[in-house]
Amino acid sequence: MAADNPYRLIAHTDKKTSVHSRIIWACSWSHDSQFFATSSRDKKVIVWGKKKSVDEDQGDAGPLGQYGAMSKPLDVGDSATAIDFARQLTTNGR
């Protein structure tokens, strides 16, 4: 890693492994940086995170490594142009 670049690639997808089928228009990190959400022109919202167990068939070598969708994509019925997480958990921990 270059001294002037504090970022590193931890996961990637391509047309064969992609969950979204159209352009991603928005993304957001959760307040605790544990989850990442994407919204797209394909009408899907997806929450990503670190998997508790790695798929046996892919190990850490898969395109998303230890990361993946936390649930099935949510179909919001129209192009999803914005997304955001709440700034903190609610009083009941949700």
Q: Per residue in 33-88, pLDDT tens?
A: 888 999 999 999 999 888 776 554 444 445 556 778 888 899 999 998 999 988 88
Name the 3-class secondary structure at 60. Answer: helix
15-30 per-position pLDDT tens digit: 777 888 888 899 999 9
Instruction: Report if residue 94 sits inside a domain.
Output: no
Instruction: Report if residue 13 sits inside a domain.
Output: no
Burial group, residue 18, by CB count within 10 angstroms (0-12, 13-18, 19+):
middle
Instruction: Report if residue 81 sits inside a domain.
Output: no
What are the tokens at 56?
């046996």
Overall number of domains in the chain = 1
Instruction: Report if residue 33 sits inside a domain.
Output: yes
Q: How far apart are CA 24 and CA 18, in angstroms?
A: 11
pLDDT of residue 54: 54
pLDDT of residue 56: 46
- Domain region containing 42: 24-75
